[in-house]
Structure 1
Amino acid sequence: MPARPAQAEMLDFDALDGWMEDDHLAALSSFLRTCDLIDQPDWKPICALAADVPKDPASARSFFELFFRPVVVGQPPALFTGYFEPELNGSPVRGGRFQYPIYRRPPELQDGVAYHTRAAIEAGAIAGRGLELAWLDDPVDVYFLQVQGSGRIRMTDGTVVRVGYAGKNGHAYRSVGQEMVRRGTHSLDQVSAPEIATYVRSNPETGRALLDTNPSYVFFRKIGTLRPEDGPIGAMGRSITALRSVAIDPRFTPLGAPVWIEKDGRRPIRSLMVAQDTGGAIKGMQRADIFYGTGKGAGDAAGTVKDPGRMVLLLPIDRAFAMLDDD
């Protein structure tokens, strides 16, 4: 159950910038992917009705307006970032340029219990135990695959292996970008995923040590059930959708809830998305990570997003009024 908010404000739908122009049918399709997984009683009848909504944008918009109320939780401005599913080159065995492993979950790993740090694992703490899931050709790709939490790896024989999150080592995520700012190598406005990657590749020894300042480490599993057109698996165990799924802090935003996104910046977004994922760096009420899709183009778009705006939850009517009464 999400935590009680420090501040909540109910809005009318006409107060949502761009609401009328969005594709609500696309949002409904994303909502239906995970709606049945929400186990709260006030969601169940809404999810049952959602499956019977006529498949046209006007009916989808009416559905959301009839059964939900927009609620701003916390104090804007929000912070929006972006993530994506990388496409990488790899090998099932070590050799040639493929020298950097990603690991499956060690059997002794316990959720919530501190395990080896990133630095220790990179130094070989679990090497040689047969836990290597694949070998990549770039240590920076290994790091950012862990940040994204899923990816597609094209093996040397041409096959594509989908990998997804299988657990982490129990250490809190620490921002490498903030560490760069602390060290004085970059200013805050210079830090982005592409800039971090460029810096580490240009300064291999210093760069690898920089990455090790983030002690958190992610383990993976192979996922053989996804079609090529499916997005990666999110925190709810279902495939997520480009520009319709967001990662949120589940302490404040219910997983599965529709979320109206008003992202400002160079490429503004006014769109209804669904809270279907989480992330180690996604903390706070007005905080969301937008899923941009798969591949280099999605990575280029997602990697520079660090924009303000407003995030508005769509909550079942009774729940929305109850939140205001508790405030």
Structure 2
Amino acid sequence: MRGAPSALLLALGAAMALGPLSSASAATIPDVGGARLERVAFADLPGWEADDHAAALAAFQVSCGPILEGRAALRPAAAAGVDLLAACRAALPVAPADARAFFERVFVPHRVIPPSGRGFLTGYYEPELAGALAPTARFATPLRARPAGLVSLAEGETRPGVDAALRAALRDGAGGFRPVPTRAEIEEGALGDAAPAIVWLEEPGEAFIVHVQGSARIRLDDGRVLRVGYAGRNGHPYTSIGRLLVERGAIDRDAMSLERLLGWLRENPDEARALMRENASYIFFTLLDSHDDALGPIGGAGVPLTPGRSLAVDRGLWPYGLPFWLSGALPDADGVVHPLARLMVAQDTGSAILGPARGDWFVGSGARAGTRAGLIRHATDFVVLLPRSETERHQGALGGESRR
């Protein structure tokens, strides 16, 4: 799940808790996080018929597990609501060949129109890096485990003695709470043995990128490959160091990429250490020894991500499991731009993913996926598929609703 990728506070307040999660209720809600929802038909979505709906259905069915079981998410998001729950129940018996018909029968597309007119999409990936299980002269930068007393806080949730803006707290051992230290404080030893290192990496910049991506594959000298996944964060606000470098003129905006950022961090170690500490957010990890190597890392929803189908969204505005149709144009790993017309599923979140038409697309694992993810910073059109209300589902069963 994305490490850096806090969520935008709801402009809708209690209305969102009731949920614009059905097409009927959406008509009564003026906006979501400042964006207008405009109901459209599936026929209005360019490329809809040609997409691999079975792949999207498989991702959606994975997302439905926690929703149907009432299982808590790794990072809490907006409530799913009864209509999304009903959509999940309906999805269980659907075969891949019937995927398109399922989405058209159970959901209604709504164009998400933010004040800027279009949404914005970035990409993220699962790095693969060399590492060690014990510190050495080469491997001296730790990834740390979640402290035992860490409490993750949802939007609007607070703890006594902790700033309401923070999204996590530490139990103080006396029945109270205290703020979790910042990145700089943790690196200076503020957590002591409470957050032991689980693996050691070669470069501080590499560790920072793992914090941003939220997961990684670690290659050991004996040939084993371990996986680390997101286990929590210190709850402090995220600051983009790439944006800081652009603002300060260190890297041109058009030239900014993941490779360029890593190169700058390597070439400027002293400045890099200070720069990375300007991002107070810090991510904790866990070893995923039993995780299926064929699956992606675990996202904020608590399910494995699917390369090309999993989307990180603003968890304060959208529930996990909602399908989104994205259209536009994106580069591949070679920089060649291709049309984008794809159904994705909200399965993750990130501290930098703020707004109703802001997404982060999980590209995959490894260096080539990282190259592509680093190139994706593109205006994109977002359409959210909201589950039909019970009334509309009944009308559809009676033939009163077009499945266009």
Q: What TM-score comes out, normalization by structure 2 length?
A: 0.75
Distance 1:241 1:87 in 2: 17
- Tell me by how many angstroms 1:60 deviates: 1.0
Distance 2:148 2:64 in 1: 32
Distance 1:129 1:314 in 2: 43
CA RMSD of aligned residues (A): 2.0
Q: Which of these residues, 128, 136, 158, is aligned with residue 95 of structure 1? A: 136
Does structure 2 conserve the Cα–Cα contact (< 8 Å) formed by 1:80 and 1:263? no
Aligned to 1:115: 180
Aligned to 2:58: 29
Q: Is 1:55 aligned with 2:96?
A: yes
Q: Secondary structure at the match of 1:221?
A: strand
Distance 1:164 1:173 in 2: 18
Does structure 1 conserve the Cα–Cα contact (< 8 Å) formed by 2:83 and 2:388? no
Distance 1:130 1:12 in 2: 50
Matches within 5 A, 1:215-226: 215-226=280-291
Matched AA of 1:44 = L
- CA spacing shift, 1:120–1:261, aligned 2, 3 Å: same
Aligned to 1:190: 255
After TM superposition, the structure 1 stretch with the greater mean CA deviation from structure 2, 39-48 or 132-141, is 39-48
Q: Deviations over 1:255-278 (max 9, x none)?
A: 101110113243432100100001
Structure 2: segments with no counterpart, 5+ residues: 1-16, 21-30, 68-79, 153-167, 170-178, 331-336, 393-404
- Tell me by how many angstroms 1:187 deviates: 3.3
Matches within 5 A, 1:253-268: 253-265=318-330, 266-268=337-339
Distance 1:41 1:234 in 2: 23
Q: Is 1:8 aligned with 2:25?
A: no
Distance 1:128 1:45 in 2: 45
- CA spacing shift, 1:36–1:94, aligned 2, 3 Å: closer
Does structure 2 conserve the Cα–Cα contact (< 8 Å) formed by 1:71 and 1:320? no
After TM superposition, the structure 1 stretch with the greater mean CA deviation from structure 2, 140-149 or 176-185, is 176-185
Matched AA of 1:314 = L
Q: Deviations over 1:182-212 (max 9, x none)?
A: 2222333232222211111111111221111
- CA spacing shift, 1:127–1:202, aligned 2, 3 Å: farther
Aligned to 1:67: 106
- Tell me by how many angstroms 1:240 deviates: 0.8
- Tell me by how many angstroms 1:127 deviates: 5.3
Does structure 1 conserve the Cα–Cα contact (< 8 Å) formed by 2:129 and 2:217? yes
Distance 1:173 1:226 in 2: 28
- Tell me by how many angstroms 1:134 deviates: 0.7
Aligned to 1:234: 299
- CA spacing shift, 1:69–1:320, aligned 2, 3 Å: farther
After TM superposition, the structure 1 stretch with the greater mean CA deviation from structure 2, 102-111 or 170-179, is 102-111
- Tell me by how many angstroms 1:83 deviates: 0.5
Q: Which of these residues, 40, 45, 50, is aligned with residue 81 of structure 2? A: 40
- Tell me by how many angstroms 1:317 deviates: 1.9
Structure 1: segments with no counterpart, 5+ residues: 322-327
Q: Secondary structure at the match of 2:102?
A: helix
- Tell me by how many angstroms 1:128 deviates: 5.8
Matched AA of 1:60 = A
Distance 1:151 1:267 in 2: 27
Does structure 1 conserve the Cα–Cα contact (< 8 Å) formed by 2:325 and 2:383? yes
Q: Secondary structure at the match of 1:178?
A: helix
Distance 1:251 1:179 in 2: 25
Aligned to 1:80: 121
Distance 1:320 1:36 in 2: 25
Q: Secondary structure at the match of 2:96?
A: coil
- CA spacing shift, 1:40–1:292, aligned 2, 3 Å: same
Report how many residues are paired: 319
After TM superposition, the structure 1 stretch with the greater mean CA deviation from structure 2, 286-295 or 206-215, is 206-215
- CA spacing shift, 1:145–1:319, aligned 2, 3 Å: farther
Aligned to 1:325: none
Q: Deviations over 1:80-121 (max 9, x none)?
A: 000011111111111130111111012233332332211222
Aligned to 1:152: 217
Distance 1:140 1:11 in 2: 44
Q: Secondary structure at the match of 2:150?
A: coil
Q: Is 1:292 aligned with 2:363?
A: yes
Does structure 2 conserve the Cα–Cα contact (< 8 Å) formed by 1:152 and 1:160? yes
- CA spacing shift, 1:127–1:193, aligned 2, 3 Å: farther
Q: Which of these residues, 23, 46, 66, is aligned with residue 17 of structure 1? A: 46
Q: Is 1:106 aligned with 2:147?
A: yes
Q: Which of these residues, 206, 215, 231, is aligned with residue 271 of structure 2? A: 206
- Tell me by how many angstroms 1:319 deviates: 8.5
- CA spacing shift, 1:130–1:22, aligned 2, 3 Å: closer
Distance 1:12 1:285 in 2: 20
- Tell me by how many angstroms 1:40 deviates: 2.6
